[in-house]
Structure 1
Amino acid sequence: MKELVTGPDLDDETLIAHYARPARPTLRVSFVSSADGAMEIDGLSTALSGADDKRVFGVLRMLADAVLVGAGTLRRENYRPIRLSPPRVAWRRAHGLPDVPTLVAVSHSLDLDPAMPALADAPVRPIILTSSGAHRPDLLRVADVVRFEDQDLLSPVRARALDQILCEGGPRLFGTLLAADAVDELCLTVAPVLAGAGASRITAGPVSPPRDMRPAHVLRGGDHLMVRYVRRHPSVDRAPTGCG
Structure 2
Amino acid sequence: MRRLFPVTDETAAPAPDGTPGEGTGREWTLAELAAAYAYPEPGAAGPVPYLRANMVSTLDGAAQHDGRSQPISSAADMRIFGTLRALADVVVVGAETVRQEGYRPARARAEFAASREAAGQAPAPAIAVVTAGLDLDFSLPLFTSPLVPTLILTGAAAAPDRVAAAEQAGARVVTAGDGIGVDPARAVAALAGLGHTRLLTEGGPRLLGQMVAAGVLDELCLTVSPMLTAGDAQRIAGGPAVTVPHRFTLLSMLEEDGFLFTRYRRS
**After TM superposition, is the score higher than 0.5?**
yes
Out of 177, 192, 204, the residue aligned to residue 149 of structure 1 is 177
- Tell me, in whole angstroms, the C-alpha distance in 2 between the residues paired with 1:203 and 1:181: 13
| Residue among 223, 246, 262 paired with 1:211 | 246
Report Cα offsets for 1:198-231 as digits up to 9, x if no partner.
Answer: 1110111132131111111101122211001111
Aligned equivalents of 1:117, 1:72: Cα separation in 2: 17
* RMSD after superposition: 1.6
Distance 1:91 1:51 in 2: 23
Contact preservation (8 Å) 1:58, 1:84 = no
Structure 1 residues 112 and 16: alpha-carbon distance in aligned structure 2, compared to 1, 3 A threshold: same
For structure 2, the residue ranges without an aligned partner over 5 or more in a row are: 8-22, 42-47
**Which sits farther off after the overlay, 161-170 or 123-132?**
123-132
Q: Using the TM superposition, give the Cα deviation of residue 156 of structure 1 relative to its aligned residue in structure 2, in angstroms.
A: 1.2
Per the TM alignment, residue 133 of structure 1 is displaced from its structure 2 partner at its CA by 2.7
Q: Alpha-carbon deviation of 1:138?
A: 1.9
**1: distance between equivalents of 2:151 and 2:207?**
16
Kindly indicate whether the alpha-carbon contact (under 8 Å) linking 2:132 and 2:158 is maintained by their aligned counterparts in 1. no
Q: How does 1:191-210 map to 2 (within 5 A)?
A: 191-208=225-242, 209-210=244-245
Deviation at 1:123, TM superposition (A): 1.0
Tell me if structure 2 keeps the 8 A contact 1:31–1:188.
Answer: yes
Q: What one-letter code is carried by the residue in structure 1 that aligns with 2:241?
A: V
Which of 108, 128, 136 pairs up with 1:112?
136
Whether the 8 Å contact between 1:102 and 1:127 is mirrored in structure 2 is yes
Task: Note the C-alpha offset of 1:90.
Answer: 2.8
Contact conserved, 1:83 with 1:100, CA < 8 A, in 2? yes
CA distance in 1, matches of 2:65, 2:158: 35
Task: Please give the alpha-carbon distance, in whole angstroms, between the structure 1 residues aligned to 2:74 and 2:96.
Answer: 23
Aligned equivalent of 1:179, options 213, 225, 228 = 213
Counterpart selection for 2:33 from 12, 15, 18: 15
Runs of 4+ in 1 over 3 A off after TM superposition: 3-6
In structure 2, what is the equivalent of residue 223 of structure 1? 258
1:53 paired to 2:71: no
Helix, strand or coil: the match of 1:10?
coil
Cα distance, 1:193 vs. partner? 0.4
Instruction: Count residues with an aligned counterpart.
Output: 230
Q: SS of 2:187's equivalent?
A: coil
Structure 1 Cα separation of the partners of residues 115 and 189 of structure 2? 27
Instruction: Work out the percentage of aligned pairs sharing the same amino acid.
Output: 39
Match of 1:163 in 2: 197
Return the structure number with greater relative CO, CA threshold 8 A, min gap 6: 1
1:196 & 1:113 partners in 2: Cα distance? 32
Shift of 1:153: 2.0
Aligned-partner residue type, residue 134 of structure 1: A
Q: Hey, what's the Cα distance between the residues in 2 that align with 1:206 and 1:181?
A: 13
User: Residue 165 of structure 2 aligns with which residue?
Assistant: 138
1:120 & 1:67 partners in 2: Cα distance?
17
Question: If the length of structure 1 is used for normalisation, what is the TM-score?
Answer: 0.89
Q: TM-score, length-normalised on structure 2?
A: 0.82
Cα distance between partner residues in 1 of 2:158 and 2:29: 47
Q: Which residue of 2 aligns with 1:96?
A: 120
Aligned residues of 1:53 and 1:221 also touching (Cα < 8 A) = no
